[in-house]
Structure 1
Amino acid sequence: MSRRRGARRAGMDTCDPDLKPTTCKLKEVTAMATRLPSRDYMQACWVVPDLEKAIHLWARQAGIGPFFYFDDVVYDNPVYRGEPWQPVKFHAAIAQAGHLQIELVSQLEEGHSIFRDVVPAGRSGLHHMSTYTHDFDADLAWYRDAGTEVAFSGLMKGAPVCWLDTTATLGFMTELITANPLKEAVFRQFREAADSWDGTDLVRRLG
C-alpha cells in the first residue's frame, strides 16, 4: 500500500500533492469547517466615548431602538490576559436590529481592559461580534486549538462568557455567550421592544 493511500486511511492530511496549492488550501478550509459547531453571530458591539450621545445617533441615523441600559455589569472570577482582573467601570446599552443586537459600551475610567485593547480612549470603533453557543467548552476549545488567545473570561450570573482576541485576523474580538433560559428571556424582551417601538422612550431598563 502506498504511503499516500495509507495516510488517507489513517485520517491524516488527505490533500493530494499533485493538486494545485489553492485546491489543497480549499480542501483544508472545507475540512476545518465541517468540524465547527454551528455559528450564530447575534451581536455587534461598538466602544464609544459618550454612551448617551451614541444611543441618540443610532436612533437618528439608523432608526435603531429602544436601547436597554446597563450600568452595573459584574463578572465573577474575571481573568484578563491570564491574570485576575481588577474591574474597571463601564456602562452599556443594547438594542435589537432585526436578527442582530447592537451593543454600545463606554468605559468610564482608565485601566487595562478588553475595550481599550481594541479602541483607544476617546475613540469609537467596532469592538466585537458575539456568538451564541450551546456548547461553550467545545467552541472555546476550537478557538484555542486554532491558536487564538483568550483575552478575557468570567462568569455572568453563573454562565461562562469570554472574549477571544481575533483582532489580528478578523479585525474585532469574538465573544462567546452561553445559551441559557435567562439569556433567552432577556433577548426576547429586546426583540419584542424593538418590534413594537414607535420612536418614543428611547432608553429603558430591564424590568
Structure 2
Amino acid sequence: MESLETMTNAVPERTSLGARMQLSFVVPDLQEALKFWTETLKVGPFVVIEDLGDRHFFYRGQESPVEILIGFSYVGETQIELIEQINSAASPYTDFLESGRQGLHHFGFWPDDCEKARLELEQRGFKEVLVIQASNGGNKVTYHSGPEHVGAMFEIAPMTPERAKHFAGLKALADNWDGTRPVRWFRTRAEYMASEDCKA
C-alpha cells in the first residue's frame, strides 16, 4: 500500500491544491449508481460507508444534521466518490438535487497546506459554503462554490494518516479487482479500515 508520503508527494506539485484528485457524484439512488458504475463502466469495487461518525455539518454558517451514504472506488489515480443524502437536511447535496441536477458535484483535493489552498481559492473567486468537522475541531473539510464556468464545487481536506490508509486500501482494491464482490458495505470507516478489504 502507498504511504502517506507517497499519497501526497508522488507527483510534483504545481498547485496548492496538491497532486491527487477526487471526482464526487451526488445521486438520488446510491444502489442504482453503484450498479451503473460496477456493471456498465466496470469500475470497482466500491466501498460504502454508512455512518461517518463524529462529523458535524455547517452549511452556509448554520449547523445541519446531514446524513449521507458514501461509496468510494478508483479509476487509475483518480478517486470516485458517490454520495446519497438519506435525509432532507439543508446541504449542498439537497440543493443540487432539488435544482434538477445529479451527477458530478465537486472535485476533491488533499493539499499539503489546506489553509493556504482555501485562501487561494477565496482569492480566485471561490466561496466557502460547507464545513464538515469533528467535535474536537480536527480534520476540517470544506466545500467551495466557484465561478460558473467551473460547473462544480471544490472540496479541500487534509491528508491525515488515517485518510491515507483509507485511500491506499481503496486504490489497492481497485487495482487488483477481479470482478467479484463489486460493492462492500461497512457501517463505519473504522470497520472498513479494520477489515481485510483495507489490506488488499
Specify which structure has the bigger relative contact order, considering alpha-carbon pairs within 8 angstroms and separated by 6 or more residues: 2
Is residue 2:85 matched to residue 1:107? yes
Q: Unaligned regions of 5+ residues in structure 2, if any?
A: 1-13, 187-191, 196-200
| CA apart distance, 1:203 | 1.2
Describe the SS at the equivalent of 2:51. coil
Give the TM-score normalised by the residue count of structure 2.
Answer: 0.78
| CA apart distance, 1:97 | 1.0
Is residue 2:114 matched to residue 1:133? no
**Letter matched to residue 117 of structure 1:** D
Q: Percent identity?
A: 29
Larger Rg: 1
The 1:189–1:155 alpha-carbon spacing in structure 2 relative to 1, beyond 3 Å, is same
- Kindly provide the CA deviation profile for residues 135-191 of structure 1, in whole angstroms up to 9, marking residues without a partner as x: 011111111223321110132583111000126231001000111211110011001
- Alignment partners' CA distance in 2, 1:59 and 1:192: 16
Which of 145, 153, 158 lines up with 1:173 in the alignment?
153
Describe the SS at the equivalent of 1:154. strand
Contact 1:91 1:108 in 2 (8 A): yes
- Alignment partners' CA distance in 2, 1:167 and 1:38: 17
**Letter matched to residue 177 of structure 2:** W
Give the TM-score normalised by the residue count of structure 1.
Answer: 0.75
- Which of the two has greater helix per residue? 1
The 1:194–1:36 alpha-carbon spacing in structure 2 relative to 1, beyond 3 Å, is closer
The 1:135–1:126 alpha-carbon spacing in structure 2 relative to 1, beyond 3 Å, is same
**Letter matched to residue 53 of structure 1:** E
The 1:118–1:174 alpha-carbon spacing in structure 2 relative to 1, beyond 3 Å, is same
Which of 195, 198, 206 lines up with 2:175 in the alignment?
195
| CA apart distance, 1:123 | 5.0
**Letter matched to residue 153 of structure 2:** M
Is residue 2:74 matched to residue 1:96? yes
Contact 2:130 2:142 in 1 (8 A): yes
| CA apart distance, 1:122 | 7.4
Contact 1:128 1:174 in 2 (8 A): yes
Matches within 5 A, 1:4-83: 36-37=15-16, 39-74=18-53, 76-83=55-62
Contact 1:136 1:178 in 2 (8 A): yes
Describe the SS at the equivalent of 1:111. coil
| CA apart distance, 1:129 | 0.6
| CA apart distance, 1:63 | 0.9
**RMSD, aligned CA:** 2.1
Q: Unaligned regions of 5+ residues in structure 1, if any?
A: 1-34
Q: Which residue of 2 aligns with 1:13?
A: none
Aligned length: 172
| CA apart distance, 1:79 | 1.9
- Alignment partners' CA distance in 2, 1:197 and 1:51: 21
- Alignment partners' CA distance in 1, 2:88 and 2:100: 11
- Alignment partners' CA distance in 2, 1:38 and 1:171: 17
Describe the SS at the equivalent of 2:140. strand
The 1:38–1:146 alpha-carbon spacing in structure 2 relative to 1, beyond 3 Å, is closer
- Alignment partners' CA distance in 1, 2:91 and 2:183: 26
- Alignment partners' CA distance in 2, 1:38 and 1:80: 22
Q: Which residue of 1 aligns with 2:140?
A: 160
